[in-house]
Structure 1
């Protein structure tokens, strides 16, 4: 099938490349620096099992999505509506748009912009852009996908490409579970500029993680979310399965870019305030990351 990746950062490039390796026609839509590198040399996908350059199309324009049967929507949560509006004139009526984003409300927000079918997905993958046109995979890669008219064929295509997939009727709960993992680790990694494995070795970190998660769970329960089981185990597994991974928030700050912190710990603050649940630990983390963002912006100016 023809597949467009809207927002070809580390996550989009990884899944796009895995599908391209199986013979699908993939076009990456992203920043000029990466697009130029992919057009010249192909996309380099570096994993523990292989290091390969993959030839695929790349563009800086949303019009490249014309004719796509599937769109992997991978932009930052801050850009959801704007990117959806750019895509809207070019999408086929029957195209399926799969949200591979952090946060819990992107699919709902995107449905307000696009008439096409939009499905939410939960992403568990450790990747980074190691350079222009070079994505490095550090671990995992599974997806949890919301049922849709095309989810069966999509799951088969992804599985054939080496991507484990689960179709779940509780994607909202899975999205919240992923949000809680992000709230636990993203800000800490960003503030310290340390990978997950080194973070958990710090004195007092286990207690901080416990407090972050407890606040998030209280907000989720007040919001009527049905969280899946095994959350505590999932929190412990992050540094075990991704010990060398820096959070996306840490990578954004290191590159001087605005992060998604408002859609992570900031979202917990918002929902907690609405539901009358106190979230002081998440507030501190959100505030510190926002201060670092301002510091980097002032330094760059």
Structure 2
């Protein structure tokens, strides 16, 4: 299968690497340092069960991309439209496009720009780019994909590559549940610079997390998405089961990269305003991360 991974970061390189190892023809579209490393030395796939270099092709844009059978869109949410414009005109009618992105609205945004159907995917993986062209897997890796005529075949392809995949009939609920988890911990992990494990040990943090979750659940339900009453208990247990995981927002801040906070807590804030629902805790988390980003940028300019 001809596969294009648009966004050769931690998520794209992990899943693209597994598909590459399974024998598929994978092209990675990413930033120059990763592209140069992959073209020169192959993709270094570092997982719990495999550590080795895989010959691969990479490029900085999709202009020379042959029409693929499958596209994994793994760019940051702020880059969704740009990625869609790069893909427009390079997709065959039978090409499957999967959005493996944080947030709940990337698939429709991509579909609008490309004029092509996009299947939303919820990602449950801990991974990072440990260096140029080097993806390190920390845990997890399951995917939940939305229903479509191609979903069963896609799930079989992913399963054969070692990716446990389910088809979520209520993908909106799954997307929102993941978003609410991100709203609970991403900002706190980022601003404190700590993993999930110690977060709830600080007095008052449990109340803050609970408030952020309750606000987001109210917004989801007002948007017509059915979120179960058991989600909060599950979220409060995450630091115990993923103690060493740093949020993607924390990783972005540590590297001086723009975060996706406007598409996580910020999305809840915007949607809440549309629906007349107050979201002060999520707003505070969004602002805290924006301040941390500003501080990082000012420090970089001084040096």
Distance in 2 (CA, whole Å) between partners of 1:111 and 1:29 is 19
Distance in 2 (CA, whole Å) between partners of 1:92 and 1:294 is 42
Which residue matches 1:4? 4
2:258 is paired with a residue whose SS is coil
Which residue matches 1:167? 167
Which residue matches 1:69? 69
> Quick check: 1:94–1:117 contact (8 Å CA) kept in 2?
no
Q: Cα gap change, 1:53/1:241 in structure 2, threshold over 3 Å: closer, same or farther? A: farther
Distance in 1 (CA, whole Å) between partners of 2:13 and 2:243 is 21
Which residue matches 2:213? 213
What is the TM-score when the length of structure 1 is the normalising length? 0.96
- After the TM superposition, which residues 252-263 of structure 1 pair with which residues of structure 2 at under 5 Å, given as runs? 252-263=252-263
> Quick check: 2:89–2:114 contact (8 Å CA) kept in 1?
no
Distance in 1 (CA, whole Å) between partners of 2:99 and 2:263 is 15
> Quick check: 2:110–2:118 contact (8 Å CA) kept in 1?
yes
- After the TM superposition, which residues 83-232 of structure 1 pair with which residues of structure 2 at under 5 Å, given as runs? 83-227=83-227, 230-232=230-232
What is the TM-score when the length of structure 2 is the normalising length? 0.95
After superposition, the C-alpha distances for 1:218-251 in whole angstroms (9 at most, x for unaligned) are 1111111122574234313432343222111111
Which residues of structure 2 form unaligned runs of 5+? none
Could you say what the CA RMSD is over the residues aligned between the two structures, in angstroms?
1.4
Distance in 1 (CA, whole Å) between partners of 2:166 and 2:237 is 19
**Paired residue total:** 301
1:113 is paired with a residue whose SS is helix
After superposition, the C-alpha distances for 1:151-185 in whole angstroms (9 at most, x for unaligned) are 11110010111111111121011100000000001
Q: Please tell me whether residue 299 in structure 1 is matched to residue 285 in structure 2.
A: no
Which residue matches 2:238? 238
Q: Cα gap change, 1:240/1:44 in structure 2, threshold over 3 Å: closer, same or farther? A: farther
Distance in 2 (CA, whole Å) between partners of 1:116 and 1:297 is 37
Using the TM superposition, give the Cα deviation of residue 80 of structure 1 relative to its aligned residue in structure 2, in angstroms.
0.6
After superposition, the C-alpha distances for 1:103-141 in whole angstroms (9 at most, x for unaligned) are 000001111111222111111111111111111111111
Q: Cα gap change, 1:21/1:174 in structure 2, threshold over 3 Å: closer, same or farther? A: same
